[in-house]
Amino acid sequence: MIAWDTIDDAEKLKVPAKPAAGLWTMVRTRVIAPAVLRIEASGSWRPVEGLPWCGPDGLRHWAYGREQLLTRKAPLGALIGKFGGSNGAVDEADIFVIGSVTVLQLDKNTGPLYLTINDAAAFFDDNEGALDVIIR
């Protein structure tokens, strides 16, 4: 359940490998520009049962099936993000890689900020774990 009254104020969050609904976890209802966001992640999760657990940078050595992932820009298991849309929408052009840390400079207002694991949309059911994410 989303705590709507505090979601935009939370600095520390948990981002599950299997979101409560859809493919994405909303971490901000809106981002107002100009802004600089620093997103840091730690912890471990597993995108595929039987594969090793990984951190927010994903499984760098895994290349099989990359064309099925939400984005080809990041390895399987990497933390990725997008602005706008819904928790079920997938448009690779809107997706950016976060990994362990990223700094985003935003020049225009955006919609909600969503984070998730880079995995094939049809295979989120076997995902395990969660990352600790800090947004500043």
- 85 domain residue, yes or no: yes
84 assigned to some structural domain: yes
pLDDT at position 108 is 86
Count of the separate structural domains present in the chain:
1
Residue 31 falls inside a structural domain: yes
CB 38 within 8 A of CB 103: yes
Determine the average pLDDT of the residues in 48-69. 88
Residues 58, 118: contact at Cβ < 8 Å? Answer: yes
68 domain-assigned: yes
Predicted pLDDT of residue 102: 98
Is residue 67 domain-resident? yes
CATH number at residue 81: 2.60.120.430
pTM of the complete model: 0.92
DSSP reduced 3-state for 68: helix
Measured between alpha carbons, how far is 134 from 122 in angstroms, rounded to an integer? 28
Q: What is the mean pLDDT of residues 21-40?
A: 93
Instruction: Give the residue numbers spanning the domain of 90.
Output: 22-135
